[in-house]
Amino acid sequence: MERVVVSIGGSILDYEDISFLRDLGRTLRDAGRKVKLFIVAGGGKVSRSYIAAGRELGASERYLDLMGIRATRINAMLLSAAIGEEANPFPPASYSHVIQEAKERRIVVMGGTRPGRTTDGVAARLAQKVDADRLVNASNVDGVYTKDPRRFQDARRVASMTHDDLIALSSGTAGKAGPTVIFDTVGARIIKKAGIALLVLDGRDLSSLRGAILGKRFKGTKVS
Ligand code: UTP
């Protein structure tokens, strides 16, 4: 069975949108019967609001990251609730625990691991550890653009690019708790070294998400 890591951006994990979460859960559950699925949940608005509040209160970057990690884990639990029995209920905190869970569940869902990284980095490391056939990055942007499409009208979506192109695009973005870029430079370097393809798409487009997970057609960018 193929192994696929899916990074679900916090931007599409809205705890108020039950109908989408239900559909997302069903899509992942169905896909998990055809490939071995490893899912990493992002922090999204939960992490952003807690990190912003903690920063106002003078918390250190490390402490903010720890809050962010807990936000990713609460989102992982929400995803597990949406997927159901086939997913583990409690997010593992290490890759060795992920491997253990994978023996008992069809689908393993986790959040962040340690301070100083993002869930992109976690998803890339996980893909390397489980020797994934591909890594799917599902956020709220339908691919990699030459610039931020939400800010620049002349931004262009690219259908395919190399790992080096992605690294060039993402470099200079590593840093403080809570930034949002399409895929961070740490993660980009890991998948380049491991030779793993990255498929970037809008996770709200569930048919595209399903296609990318199963190695079929999808709308987005392929990095290889
Ligand atoms: P995310 O990577 O989810 O950030 O982690 P995000 O900006 O919400 O990205 P998307 O939209 O989900 O893709 C949220 C925060 O949690 C901390 C960092 O502070 C990060 O900004 N974190 C997360 C860690 O410190 N370590 C981790 O392994 C994961």
Q: What is 55-71 written as a DSSP string?
A: HHTT--HHHHHHHHHHH
Name the amino acid, one letter, at 107: I
Does the pLDDT at position 176 exceed 70? no
User: 3-class DSSP state for residue 140?
Assistant: coil
* Whole-number Å distance between alpha carbons of 40 and 152: 29
If you take atom 16 of ligand 1, which residue's CA is the nearest one?
68
Whether residue 180 has pLDDT greater than 50: no
Q: For residues 1 and 48, give the distance between their C-alpha atoms in angstroms, rounded to a whole number.
A: 36
Does 203 sit in the ligand 1 pocket, CB within 6 Å? no
Go through the domains of the chain in sequence order and give each one's CATH number.
Answer: 3-223 (3.40.1160.10)
Whether residue 162 is predicted with pLDDT greater than 80 in this model: the reply is yes
Quick check: CB of 177 below 6 Å from ligand 1? yes
Q: What is the pLDDT of residue 146?
A: 75
Atom of ligand 1 nearest to the CA of 184: 2
Query: What pLDDT does 172 receive?
Result: 61
Whether pTM > 0.75 for this model: the answer is: yes
25 lines ligand 1 (CB under 6 A): no
29 CB under 6 A from ligand 1?
Answer: no
| Three-state secondary structure call for residue 206 | helix
CA 194-218-190 angle, 5° bins: 15
CB of 32 closer than 6 A to ligand 1? Answer: no
